[in-house]
Chains A and B, each alone.
With several copies, the nearest count.
Chain A
Amino acid sequence: MKATVRLQREPFDAAAVTAELTRGRTDVGAVVTFAGICRGDERGEPIAALTLEYYPGMAEAEIERHVKEAATRWPLLGVTIVHRHGRIVPGEDIVLVVTASSHREAAFAAAEFLMDYLKTRAPFWKQVETTSGKTWVDATAADDVAAARWTARRPGREAAE
């Protein structure tokens, strides 16, 4: 399986990243792309920008571990993850997850699994910039519930793993 993980400050071209994964091959039948985009509001309040802090080294390692985990769960042909850090303004992409498989079920499931894990386990922290200042975004219980779907299927896994 072709796996690519990129953490970068710069904006990226989602179409070009997706094309990289399928170019010149005819075994891929399904590609699922998730783009997480900076909205102009956060919980109702207009925002000027997001700033993403991350833990260099750990972030790459965590994401790569989860890509490998996805590849053991589903028959994937390729995965690409790009996650930005630094300042991001509304309308810009924050994260891109692309999964390729022969069939759609695997591509969909792996993309959801990876997004749920990025939201709850990858060491990134979002700060929103509004007219009233900068505040850290709270983690949501909904994201924890979404991530728990995947561990519930593998009883015995260490909770902090």
Chain B
Amino acid sequence: MTTRLRYFAWVRERVGKPEEVIEAPAGVRTVGELMAWLASRGEEYAHAFENPNVIRAAIDQRHVRPDASIKEAGEIAFFPPMTGG
């Protein structure tokens, strides 16, 4: 299954790109598991996801928790806590 990933703010800076299309292994079922798998993909990913507790995620532009299933996801985004307003 291919999924489009998007990164924002310092997650984007650390990963080094704003978006990419990935194919996650079949065992990766949740947002939390996806972060763990991403962290294993190289130094820049390890740095971006070194503290998954502070990273927020959205599936198809809705906030989700780390235990959310990525099964139906078209687009998954990772970003730091929001600081708008």
* Count of chain B residues with a beta carbon within 8 Å of a chain A beta carbon: 20
Binding site for B on A (CB under 8 A): 36, 52-55, 57-59, 61-62, 83, 94-95, 115, 118-127, 136-139, 159-161
Listed from nearest, the 9 A-B pairs whose CB atoms lie closest are A124-B84, A139-B81, A118-B85, A58-B61, A125-B9, A119-B85, A160-B65, A126-B83, A122-B84
Residue in B8, B10, B84 with the greatest tally of chain A CB atoms within 10 Å: B84
Chain B positions 43-65 with a Cβ under 8 Å from a chain A Cβ: 58, 61-65
Binding site for A on B (CB under 8 A): 6, 8-10, 12, 58, 61-65, 68, 77, 79-85
Q: CA A121 – CA B85 in complex, angstroms?
A: 10
Contact A118 B83 (CB under 8 A): no
Contact A136 B10 (CB under 8 A): yes
Cβ contacts under 8 Å, A94 to chain B:
85
Cβ contacts under 8 Å, A95 to chain B:
84-85
**Minimal beta-carbon separation of B1 from chain A (angstroms):** 22
Q: CA A95 – CA B84 in complex, angstroms?
A: 9
- Given A53-B12, A124-B82: 17 more A-B contacts, CB < 8 Å: A53-B8, A55-B8, A55-B61, A61-B61, A61-B62, A62-B63, A83-B84, A83-B85, A119-B85, A121-B82, A123-B58, A124-B83, A125-B8, A127-B9, A136-B80, A136-B83, A159-B65
